[in-house]
Every structure is written in structure tokens, then in C-alpha cells.
Amino acid sequence: MTSLDALDIQILEALHANARLTNQDLSERVSLSASQCARRRQRLEEAYVISGYRVLLDPFATGLQIEALIEVVGNAYSAENDADFRRLLDRTPEIIDAWSLTGAVDYMLRAQVKNLGSLATLLNETLLAHPAVARTHAHIALEVLKSAGMPKLTTE
């Protein structure tokens, strides 16, 4: 684990708000020189504190009208079924996030699809058709209240 100081946290917060900041813009926000910001950013990237940069798409602007959280309960566990299910996730573009869980649900998936028909196809023909899946339960998001939040970072 990399220890973070107060300036590292300020840099991370600024980049989280706008990853397109130049080192000059970043330096103005955190009161460091651009070269110091560049060195700190590079160190944070090399330590994988910053694991990448990505574009966030507006699902409605791209025609993806339905966002769903899908609980997946698996059949009896086997390493082969688990690996095959993970490959299914990788090749299914509608599934944009996936977590393995403890408790009564084995996986939680986040999907974005065009419409209810597309969601039904994803559930019935992709997920439930897979031998590792016993059942699913989908929750349709009505409104996004918070997305891609920044965790509370401390210097401790």
C-alpha cells in the first residue's frame, strides 16, 4: 500500500473531478509547481493508486435507456463454471460492472440496455441460459442519485 500525504489526496480529488487536467491546471488547484504535480501524478500512476483514466458516457445520450442491477445466484459452485461465467461477463457488453459477493447472492451485475426487450434478452437468453446461473433478480434504476463517488482518503 502506498502512503498518501495531503498533497497526494488533493491531486487525486482534483483528478477525480476532472481527469483531463493538465499538470499546469493541476498545479494551480493544489498550489504546487507543474513539474512537482507531474512527478506526483507519475508516482501515483506507477504505484497503481491511479489505475487508469476513462471517459464516462451518458447512457441516455447513447440510447441506453435502462440501467439495471442484476442479482445472480449460481448453481452448485465449480471452478470451471465460475471461470466460464466470468468469460461470459467479459464478452457481454451490456454488463458494465460485475462483483462477486458473499451471502445469498453470488454476483451483482450492472447493465445498461436500450429497452425492456433488451433487458429481457440479456436475462433470459444470456444469463439464465448459462449453466452456472440458477436464477436472477433484476432491479431497474429509476434515477441515478450518485455515481462514481470519490472515497474518503486520509493520510493515516
27-40 exposure pattern, b = at least 16 Cβ within 10 A, e = fewer = bebbebeeebbbeb
Whole-number pLDDT of residue 3: 87
Mean pLDDT on 28-36: 95
Distance CA 130, CA 85 (A): 8
pLDDT in tens, 63-96: 999 999 999 999 888 888 889 999 999 999 999 9
Mean pLDDT on 132-149: 91
The predicted model scores a pTM of 0.81
Report how far Cα 108 is from the mean position of its chain's Cα atoms. Answer: 12
pLDDT in tens, 20-29: 999 999 999 9
Mean pLDDT on 37-51: 95
